[in-house]
Structure 1
């Protein structure tokens, strides 16, 4: 292995060469605002409709974001002018809202996580394949230019034999935030933990063993979780996620040839540093920390896939999304974290969209 003398260039899709799809938004919340803003500012994609269980919320979102049509309930799915639906509802609505869109024959981008658990994720995968529509988890980190460069470095063996992944993501939230609500599948795992788990499994693959430790908060949600993953050949991932307070949010990928360090928040646009183990070479990737402005990359990727007749992403496959969920499922099993929708006798109360 020869340590690289320079970093590869990010491979960015030419948006002028992808179809101009007509998007409908399911769930007019915080992330949907940023998604729509990114599409409007940086792409030729068209946002034509929005739906919510509360028609007034849909109308207000449409007026605020310049979206032509708004719908109550799931009426938007009958609109022939909608090609693809971005599901941005709360976690426990991802399965029913995405299934409804799939059954209506729409392509679907589901805000991460794909579903509450791997079983739900498989239902979505199977439904999309049967209907012949495109389905992808909106795990936006995988589509950022810096992660394309990181994937190229790993594929080229720049780090040698990767032995360790360390990743952290913790934030503080106020008591009224939805992440504090047990009825909305709250806690750090699905919101924050997806990022370190997806990084670890993306780099090192399926773990052979998972050890999890954590603690609960008042109100019935998990407060934090630490995970140790053992992978093939003795490689390890050390992961942490928390809603008890802010943490650095850094990530490190370490191998026999070098170390790649990503400062927090590691999953967002920003820099990283690649350092040879003998300290002879240090390469720095620089990128503006514009955070959610780069949500558009995943939409352009989806449009490219649809134009090529694909029903699954070659960058963030459904198997990738399911593996992330499977690891989190096992960690939750060890910590006895059971969402209300997973309790056979529980009343399945839908949250706000």
Structure 2
């Protein structure tokens, strides 16, 4: 097992990464306040891991309730949020109660948002079961739900008490979900850790084979990169944390435009990073060789490389409603160089239109294009 800490000005919480963590009460119970625990999960994860977690908690003398939601991005909405709140109220949970998110990013975001708002804030623990959630959404305290007009537009910052990334859960992850998680792994190399890019290139075969030791190291290095950024800019006020959104402005447009669930978040981000990288290259920030290196790593990990042609106008309309819009302008996350990201609001719209045009942008495909 590997452990690292997210340090937040006098507050800190651990991230444990390794095998068999769901059965290790010594890693979970120290972070539970009170005796009431509510596990929130979905109907895909519940048959696999809910009983193990419940047994671990019951053996510690805790009162355990559960909420099982439908699986999928389309359920990251007001109705699912209300179901969690109704369960907490009906079970008479108190301020010292604890919520536990057992699932992927949708479950983590929903549970965290419920924890942030129930009784004005209660304790919660993240137990992510997808690679994407283990390296990204479970760390940093961003919680929320989607609005029909945009992704993650309603939410709150609410840090977990602990994060347990049990790598055993990745063995049951469908290949498509697993590869979607790899997109967020390579993102950290592109935006701030060029040595990690080299490591990923050298270990791409082992990552494709889901080698346990390689996965543990990849998750650890990803979480370390995110923890450093979160510690310096917890509430995204300086612009540093916004760099974690590399590829997300274009990716969120794909998710929203295609309908939540048609594209997985990581799939959309994978293509979004390629579009942002092409834009960086056209602006003269990175050379063609670096763009090709980004493409090669994405292809080596079998990530999708072509976005649907929503139409340039539709892309721009959705992106105009993105959370990263400031003073009416979209803040684009670009690559200043490979391994270093930057924010820019001064990108010529005509260039954006060129990149988003199927006749010009090399990563925009047909309207029926689906992730590979």
- Bucket of the pairwise TM-score, normalised by the shorter protein: 0.3 to 0.5
Query: Which one has more relative contact order, counting CA pairs under 8 Å at least 6 apart?
Result: 1
Taking structure 1 as the reference length, what is the TM-score of the superposition? 0.37
Taking structure 2 as the reference length, what is the TM-score of the superposition? 0.35
More helix by share: 2
